Each structure stands twice: as C-alpha cells, then as structure tokens.
Amino acid sequence: MYSDNNHSNDNSANELVKSSQTPTAQSALKHLARRSFLRKIGIGAALLAPGAALLTGSAKAFAASGKQKLTRGDVAILQLLAAAELIEADLWQQYTELGGVDAPMTGYTAALQILDGDQPQYISDNTDDEISHATFLNAYLHSKGEKGVNLDAFRTLPSSQATGAQQIGRLTNLTQLTVDTSWWTRYRSTTNPDFGATFPDAVPSLNTGQHTAIPRNNAELDDPNNPSDHVKAIAFTAGFHFGFIEQGGTSLYATLAQKVTSLEVLRVLISIGGSEIMHFQTWQDKAGNATPLTDFDPVNNSSVTFEDLTTGQPETLQSNLIMPEPCEFISPSLPACAIIRPSGPGQLDATGAINSFIADGLFIGQSAQFLQLIKALARAADAAQRQVD
Ligand SMILES: [Fe+2]
Ligand SMILES: [Fe+2]
C-alpha cells in the first residue's frame, strides 16, 4: 500500500498485488516489518497482509539531496492523511459519477438540486479537491524521501449498477450507511465534545439501520422531472452524509496539526484542513433544505424520515444557523468561542476518524486486511509526538 508513484483511481489492484510478490517488494516488506516502532504499533503485520501492496521508498536519493528529514511522527501523520484522502476521493468519485456536473440528468440529480441548485457543481468540486489532497500528500511524502500510500489493492467493492457509474472496484460502500447526524446539533450547541458533551441526531432515523446514499440501479435514478420520495430520500441521505464526511476531515486535521513538528508540515495540515472546513460549511448549509418525507427502503429494510428543518425548529436544529455557535474551549473559565470542534485527543483524532468511517458503514464488504491496515496507520499517526527544541 506504500508507493512512490501516484496511481489514478483506475483499478490496478491486480498489478499491485503482483508487484508485492516481486523480490524487491518482498524485501521492502520484510525491512519495514523489522522496524521496531512499526512492529510496536502493529503496522508491520498489516503491511505484510496478503494483498497489501508496497513499493520501496526513495530514501537513498533523498539522503543524497541533503534536505532535512521529516520526523517519524510527521511521516505517520502525512501517511494517515494520504490514506484518508484516498478514501474520501473514492467516495466522492462515486457521488460525482451519479450526482456531479457530468452525471446523467435523473431523478437523483433533480432531488440533489432540491438541496441547492448548484449541488452538482459542489459535488464535482469536492471530488476534485479530495483527489488533489491525496495526490499532493503522496507527492509531498515522496519529495521528502518518504513512502506514499497506495490503496489500489483494496479497490474491491462493487459499483452502483445505475447508468453513469463506472464499473470499477471501489474502496468504499455508499449503499449501507448508518449516518451519524449529531454534527448538525453539535455545531448549533454551546457545548463542546472535548468537554464530554454529546449531541442528539438531527435525523435520528439515518443513524439507525442502513441507508443508501446513491441509486443502486436505474430504477432508482427515476424521472428527472418528478423524482419519487424514494429517490429524494436517497439524495437527502447523501446531503447529510456529505456533512458527516467533511466534519470528520475538519476535526481530523485540526487534531493532528497539534502533533506535527515541521513548520512546513503544519502549513500543509492547516491549509488542506482549511479546505475541509470549507467543504463542511458548504454541506451544512445545504442538508437542511431536505423536504419532509418518510421512505421505506426494502433492500436495506429500513425507514428514514426527514423533517422540515427550515421553520419552527429549536436552535439546535434550525437550518439557517450555519455558523459555529460559540462554545466552551480550552477551559470552562474562558469565554465561549466559535471554533472547530472536537480538536482534542480521543475524539476525531486519526483513530477516532477511522472508527467513525467504520461505524458509518463505509467499509462494509472490505477485507479484514484493509481494516487492519487503516487502523494501524491511524495508531501510528496518533502516536506521533511534537518534537520542538
Ligand atoms: Fe480532503
Ligand atoms: Fe474532504
């Protein structure tokens, strides 16, 4: 899964699996597994798992350049973020194919545009951003003589059968989601999860059972002029899922930025993290435009109910309250402050963010090796310690 090359989203899993069988890759795997730090956090075993693809790094070329080396912690943080961005890019690519600017005009795209007329543009742009994040982070790691991350060997999950979806292997599953919508009430509250606060769901039925956020077949694409409640429910599920994903990225970058050592790596994290915040803010301005409906999905055997959040709601649900409400920060004795939250340890740090993706159902159908790998990357990132003279 480490690579010195930037691979496209095309499925080259077979080639990579083959490449991991070569003597060079095998020796690199063994070399990596011997490193005590990697063994301690369990990453060596994950990388040695069948199907994990790893290519050798460029440490020698780097050493000759004389540039300052990144700390082990900075590398682990950047690698975890590269993996998270590849995961984001994979799911956003699926949304773009069926809901972006080049997607066929369908009931799904019409229902997405109930949330906002520019929704297809935003979906396509968010996708481009995630691809750029993953590509940049891997290229940056390579430029420092470190190994980038390649998850192509795990692009094994099926695509939607609906017209518009490429028939390629995917990293993520958008058809069996359990969407935590408590981020909506969290940002409208005056309390902070870093102080133990918890929050109710904005759409409780999305956080129970499983729900699809993309049409699974042409029947679910429906009529662009008159989308059914079923197709609207799929699009509105996507609307809340967009916010869920991007609030996770928002807190992940804010949390990990506090552990980096290099000022340049800090610049990378706060700059890409700022882009995640912009994504989140866009989606939290749109999700609440869902129109009231109840739908039953016979495939997942689950129901969902969307209420009108635009009028007659308490402040913790009101859709136009999209700016972060000031809340407690650092110390309860300090004044309330409008901030990104959580940003403390044990919340949406690397392990927390990956666990939230797992709980979301994003990886239903993925191999145990994949889960082992991303959890190990997350542990390594969380183990990073800021080293300042
Ligand atoms: Fe991103
Ligand atoms: Fe993102």
Looking at the domain assignment, is residue 389 inside a domain? no
Least confident interval from 51-55, 111-115, 242-246 = 51-55
Spatial CB neighbours of 355, under 8 Å, sequence gap ≥ 6? none
| Burial call 183-221: b when 16+ CB within 10 Å, e when fewer | bbbbbbbebbbbeeeebebbbebbbeebbbbbbbeeebb
* Distance between Cα 251 and ligand 2 center (Å): 11
Spatial CB neighbours of 196, under 8 Å, sequence gap ≥ 6? none
pLDDT of residue 11: 34
Ligand that comes closest to the CA of residue 84:
1
Looking at the domain assignment, is residue 47 inside a domain? yes
Q: What is the mean pLDDT of residues 272-292?
A: 98
* Distance between Cα 290 and ligand 2 center (Å): 22
Looking at the domain assignment, is residue 36 inside a domain? yes
Q: What is the mean pLDDT of residues 177-206?
A: 98
pLDDT of 87 above 70: yes
pLDDT of residue 67: 61
Confidence of residue 218 (pLDDT cuts 50, 70, 90): very high
Q: Which residues crowd ion ligand 1, with CB under 5 Å?
A: 85, 88, 130, 133
pLDDT of residue 165: 98
Burial of 232 (0-12, 13-18, 19+ CB in 10 A): buried
| Cβ atoms of residues 292 and 203 within 8 Å | no
Looking at the domain assignment, is residue 388 inside a domain? no
d(Cα 147, Cα 5) in Å, to the nearest integer?
Answer: 9
Identify the residue with better confidence: 168 or 59. 168
Q: Kindly tell me the sign of the dihedral angle through the C-alpha atoms of 279, 338, 192, 237.
A: negative
d(Cα 194, Cα 208) in Å, to the nearest integer?
Answer: 24
* Distance between Cα 111 and ligand 1 center (Å): 25
The tens digit of pLDDT for each residue in 337-380 reads: 999 999 999 999 999 999 999 999 999 999 999 999 999 999 99
* Distance between Cα 71 and ligand 2 center (Å): 25
pLDDT of residue 35: 43
Q: What is the 3-state secondary structure (H, E, C) of 168-213?
A: CCECCCCCCECCCCHHHHHCCCCCCHHHCCCCCCCCHHHHCCCECC
| Cβ atoms of residues 257 and 273 within 8 Å | yes
Confidence of residue 55 (pLDDT cuts 50, 70, 90): very low
Q: Residue 304: helix, strand or coil by DSSP? A: strand
Instruction: Kindly report the pTM of this predicted structure.
Output: 0.87
Q: What is the mean pLDDT of residues 212-225?
A: 96
Take residue 347 and report the two structure tokens written for it.
Answer: 């919340």
d(Cα 108, Cα 114) in Å, to the nearest integer?
Answer: 10
Confidence of residue 25 (pLDDT cuts 50, 70, 90): very low
* Distance between Cα 94 and ligand 2 center (Å): 14
* Distance between Cα 295 and ligand 1 center (Å): 31
Domain extent for 356: 2-382
Can you name the residues that pair with 170 across neighbouring β-strands? 157
The secondary structure element, H or E, covering residue 279 is helix 263-286
Q: What is the mean pLDDT of residues 158-184?
A: 98
Q: What is the mean pLDDT of residues 152-181?
A: 98
* Distance between Cα 61 and ligand 1 center (Å): 29
| Cβ atoms of residues 289 and 115 within 8 Å | yes
Q: Which residues crowd ion ligand 2, with CB under 5 Å?
A: 88, 246, 249, 276, 279
pLDDT of residue 6: 38
* Distance between Cα 244 and ligand 2 center (Å): 10
pLDDT of 172 above 60: yes
Can you name the residues that pair with 331 across neighbouring β-strands? 329
Confidence of residue 170 (pLDDT cuts 50, 70, 90): very high
Ligand that comes closest to the CA of residue 242:
2
Q: How many domains does the chain have?
A: 1
* Distance between Cα 87 and ligand 1 center (Å): 9
Looking at the domain assignment, is residue 387 inside a domain? no
Ligand that comes closest to the CA of residue 276:
2
Confidence of residue 10 (pLDDT cuts 50, 70, 90): very low
pLDDT of 148 above 80: yes
pLDDT of 207 above 80: yes
pLDDT of 58 above 80: no
pLDDT of residue 388: 84
Burial of 263 (0-12, 13-18, 19+ CB in 10 A): exposed
Nearest to 203 by CA among 283, 295, 307: 307
Looking at the domain assignment, is residue 287 inside a domain? yes
pLDDT of residue 389: 62
Ligand that comes closest to the CA of residue 243:
2
Residue 247, CA distances (Å) to 5, 163, 254, 280, 353 in order: 29, 30, 11, 5, 10
* Distance between Cα 89 and ligand 2 center (Å): 8
* Distance between Cα 213 and ligand 2 center (Å): 17
Q: What's the CA angle centered on 109, arms 103 and 113, to 5 degrees? A: 130
| Cβ atoms of residues 248 and 283 within 8 Å | no
Determine how many CB atoms are found less than 10 A away from the CB of residue 112: 30
Amino acid letter, residue 368: A
Looking at the domain assignment, is residue 178 inside a domain? yes
* Distance between Cα 131 and ligand 1 center (Å): 8
User: How confident is the prediction for the chain on average, in pLDDT?
Assistant: 88
Ligand that comes closest to the CA of residue 277:
2
